[in-house]
Structure 1
């Protein structure tokens, strides 16, 4: 099953339809226990129901083993009175990483009169400034990378964490085994994984109304915890840096610049078809993509097969955040991927003043960019279907006044709408945490909370 994900990551699409049909058949037959739920997020046509089924097949044996381990550990959670709510953030991305850039201002903004912030890191200390800033933002920062899942769970339990926030889900180098041992009374699936982790793992999933409409709650094992605007945080403190010259980053001196800096596994043939159509009808335009050793050659070949000169694809290196934001200002329009949307790359583009067009589907990862656009007052850049996505992108690329209007609104909205207001975002998130804690202390089961109308 892993080979399917590797081929998608290489943009090796020759047998993709047959592969995707095989994935669907494996789920239908209940034999998809070796199929990574994360891989399924980028497969077109998969439903939220199938993604939940995949998560539960993937964890079936581990959940069974964890039940026995929990019985042996015998964790108890005595009433802690009126003390502060103790939050435990669990991740291997507490370093120079996209998740850290999204979360840092939230950690710094937490109300210390009501909350204590603990972080449990099982990733490498890269020695860079972000690592030090993350540690300084927490009341307790613990490196658990050398501990077993059981020992890490015992440490978290001994620390008296009230709400444990798993920032990894089923992404690379996750340690789901820790949360399966339930070392805290409330476990939350937050930010790192765009979907359900399946039954008997997390109590809540932090989301918003656009991502997961209330009438689709049955597709998620967790109770839905609704943020009022978007589940996606992005602060205001990241500097943009000085915009470089176009030639310095490999762009031609003139012509419209479409861009998409998403990882290659998110690029589907259907969306790439649209990108090539846009290049064909927008004279002198280029498509600026992230360079990836295993995918770049294949993408050039796919462009040629669609009648596009491969030189119209420009590939940029994976750069540190500040350098990336500086060059990103040279783009005219970001084109989103589907069914796995841009996440950090979407909010980064908007922060850099670059509009984004997207086409949402039914699944959580296919609706993230739409959530982000709505939170910055640009819901008109959310297309209803792929035909509308093409028309929207084409219209913006060929109508200077229309594009200028969107950029003017984006500039006006950057600091006036919820997307980049990390202080207000943190207050809303803390309101959810308080409700979770109160429900637990009142012996009430997890249930839908927050604004969901």
Structure 2
């Protein structure tokens, strides 16, 4: 008996099913009452594709059995089939395993573990369409009662795989909710939902959906502050500012550790600033935030959690939006960045120690230039950086691009960047992994395009994977000690700025940014559609809610009040209800009829947005945080702009661009001058036309519109930076 069964098992392993069938047929003839012979024979017939014969064999064995016997025999059959399905899956015969489990489902349709295995296999076979969660009755089974035999580890594995799918099945949320009652350790559920929601929010660009998934974790007590922190950011990113602010405040109220309070109050500030119109509360929160940050600096807080440590980097990002005080802003800013870097490096000592061994020896020309950013896509930075990538000298430089949170999908600009570089690394959201790739690629000069706008970028440069590191374009300098240089120009920072920068300010000859121009679409705005007379003077402002400082809005209303037959068009991401209330209230306080205001919706395409700028006669810039991309688009469209110049980088963006196109009309150094220029340009049509003519002529002469020349200047800077490094390292 033992010998022939071993022989049959060997035939099974060798897939010689016909010989195994003969052995079991002989066994049944010799021992007709041994039911396991029928189970194995049916399985072998099934493996040969004879499904009907297999089912008949199993049914034949169960005839004349008592209910008690049938129950026992069914369990035996299911165990045997489960064992073989598991073996086939281990052999990566997933379609065979799936077929076996389908027969198991016909035998016991409510076997929850088998149904979960079927989902797993369908995902692996790329046949999963989502409706199986309901059609197989899985969700109803999970809801109906506590399933004693449920394999919780399998359940969580299936949940993980479903959340990794794209697009997500409509029933995924309901399935995740049904899982909660069966999870014995809440942290295991959260450890699946939290990273999955981060991927959904940032890589898949569905922050609203990510927030709803995380809501499922709230009844669980574990890790509540971490869940709330991410939920607040997701709601804000989805434009649900009221919910985002509320969630951030709840997170702050239950945070006990100082660094958690710092992280939470940053999110409160982020929500208030993003919504726009909450300025009184913003300044109250600013005082609290500043006090917490100073306490954190004094405490020299050390944090073992890398994710929490790196969040410190962008905790001061809103200071320039609120006040033009670079000396004091950067004093706190630089100290926080230093503390964040210390924590990040302490948590990655082995990695940092390896990177410290980077030397000049063995490095040869051409120089390897690495650009790291999450903005190589349809983003302002993505539009502005194109010229450098297009015109790089590939004989002298090898260009690498490190995509943070690379997004699968249809983004033509992202695809364009992939084609422009010698090597592209499609990174995720983990800075240490991207830093390691930069180190392995032996990048000579690393250019960070994000600065403090993304903590992952900060983590990467804080680890120092390249010998020379530079900040350019995305924001002001980060203040991270591992950054060597900050790219500027003669205008965007005053001469005294080096006093409060930790990075060496590297001034290019004319401008710190240049493009060849912008693509234009077909305009979708008409004056008659907005109920604006054709002879009216139209002012416009297109900025995010962060930049709508009430003092500047008040100046803008003074301009509208003094210019007859004038209208003000307002556009930009914010909480629409809050921003309208904010503008209307200031308008009424300044004696401006709210009928003069028009609030414009967002448009899908950048090219359409630029074409729509042509409806304006004058653009009114923001202060203390100017426009950057918006200013360049305005100048390219030949529209006069009024800007208020300050001392900080953010308050001088428009100034440097206007100087580079040779237009000083509209440059104001005081609030009074801002109003004067706004009124003058509104009333003097001849002056406006003169500015328009200058702007059109600048397209042929200005450094701002000469990306090729700018690229040569950047390359000269890179070579000089590298030579300095070589000289000091020798």
Moved more, 345-354 or 164-173: 164-173
Query: Rg bigger for which structure?
Result: 2
| Structure 1: tracts of 5 or more residues without a match | 446-453
Q: What TM-score does the superposition give when structure 1 sets the normalisation length?
A: 0.91
Q: Greater relative contact order: 1 or 2 (C-alpha under 8 angstroms, separation 6 or more)?
A: 1
- The equivalent residue for 1:451 is none
> Which of 314, 328, 352 is the aligned partner of 2:637?
352
Which residue does the alignment assign to 1:304? Answer: 588
Q: Select the residue among 424, 431, 434 that pairs with 2:719.
A: 434
* Residues in 2 aligned to 1:363 and 1:229: alpha-carbon distance in whole angstroms: 18
Identify which of 324, 333, 344 aligns with 1:54: 333
Q: Per the alignment, in what secondary structure is the counterpart of residue 514 of structure 2? A: coil
Q: CA deviation at 1:51?
A: 2.4
- Offset, 1:174: 4.3
Post-superposition CA distance 1:169-195 (Å, at most 9, x none)? 11146431111111100111111012x
What is the CA–CA distance in structure 1 between the aligned matches of 2:495 and 2:279, rounded to whole Å? 35
2:597 to 304, 309, 313: 313
* 2:487 pairs with 1:206: yes
Structure 1 residue matching 2:651: 3-state secondary structure: coil
The correspondence of residues 25-424 of structure 1 with structure 2, limited to 5 A, is: 36-67=315-346, 69-73=348-352, 74-75=354-355, 76-78=357-359, 79-123=361-405, 124-145=407-428, 148-172=430-454, 174-194=456-476, 196-236=477-517, 238-244=518-524, 246-247=526-527, 250=530, 252-254=532-534, 255-291=536-572, 292-294=574-576, 295-297=578-580, 298-319=582-603, 320-424=605-709
CA distance in 1, matches of 2:570, 2:556: 11
Supply the distance in 1 between the matched residues of 2:525 and 2:340 (Cα, whole angstroms): 54
Q: Hey, what's the Cα distance between the residues in 1 that align with 2:529 and 2:420?
A: 35
TM-score, normalised to structure 2's length? 0.57
Q: Deviations over 1:246-286 (max 9, x none)?
A: 14763623311111111121111111111111111112211
CA–CA distance in structure 1, aligned partners of residues 528 and 331 of structure 2: 45
Maintained 8 Å contact 1:27/1:54: no
Give the distance between the partners of 2:338 and 2:590, measured in 1 at CA. 40
Cα 1:444–1:334 change in 2 (3 A) is farther
State the match for 2:271 in structure 1: 6
User: Which structure is higher in helix share?
Assistant: 2
CA distance in structure 1 between the aligned counterparts of 2:464 and 2:594, rounded to whole angstroms? 51
Following superposition, the deviation at residue 25 of structure 1 comes to 5.3
Contact kept? 1:249, 1:327, Cα under 8 Å: no
| 1:94 to partner: Cα distance | 1.1
Aligned position for 2:149: none
The DSSP-based 3-state class of the residue aligned with 2:321 is coil
1:98-142 per-residue CA deviation (whole Å, 9 max, x = no partner) reads: 111101121011011111111000132442211111111111111
2:202 alignment counterpart: none
Moved more, 386-395 or 65-74: 65-74
Return closer, same or farther for 1:8/1:244 CA change in 2, 3 Å cut-off: closer
Q: Structure 1 residues 230 and 282, CA, compared in 2 at 3 Å: closer, same or farther?
A: same
> Distance between the aligned counterparts of 1:293 and 1:210, measured in 2?
34
Are residues 420 and 80 of structure 1, via their aligned partners in 2, closer, same or farther at CA, if it must alter by over 3 Å? Answer: farther
What CA distance in whole angstroms lies between the structure 1 residues aligned with 2:506 and 2:729? 15
Alpha-carbon distance change, 80 to 257 in structure 1, aligned in 2, over 3 angstroms? farther
SS of 2:388 mapped into structure 1: helix
Q: Is the 8 A contact 2:571 2:602 kept in 1?
A: yes
**Residues 61 and 27 of structure 1: CA distance in aligned 2, closer, same or farther (over 3 Å):** closer
Cα displacement (A) at 1:72: 4.2
2:570 is paired with a residue whose SS is: strand
Q: Residues 375-410 of structure 1: CA distance to partner in whole angstroms, max 9, x if unpaired?
A: 111134311211011101110100111111111111
CA contact (8 A) 1:37 1:55 kept: no
Deviation at 1:62, TM superposition (A): 4.0
Whole-Å Cα distance in 2 between the matches of residues 72 and 174 of structure 1?
Answer: 16
Please give the per-residue CA displacement for 1:223-251, whole angstroms capped at 9, x wherever unaligned. 11111111122222x22234455147636
- How far 1:27 sits from its partner (Å)? 6.1
Shift of residue 77 of structure 1? Answer: 2.3
- Give unmatched runs, 5+ long, in structure 2: 1-264, 302-311
Deviates further, 133-142 or 315-324: 315-324
Structure 1 window deviating more from structure 2 (12-21 vs 360-369): it is 12-21
- Compared with structure 1, are the counterparts of its residues 330 and 114 closer, same or farther at alpha carbon in structure 2 (3 Å cutoff)? same
Tell me, yes or no, if the aligned pair for 2:344 and 2:462 is still in contact at 8 Å. no
Q: Aligned pair count? A: 442
Per the alignment, do residues 250 and 61 of structure 1 end up closer, same or farther by CA in structure 2, a change over 3 Å counting?
same
Distance in structure 1 (CA, Å) of the matches to 2:552 and 2:637: 24
How many angstroms does 1:81 deviate by?
A: 4.4
Q: Compared with structure 1, are the counterparts of its residues 28 and 72 closer, same or farther at alpha carbon in structure 2 (3 Å cutoff)?
A: closer
In structure 2, the partner of 1:449 is none
Distance 2:725 2:626 in 1: 34
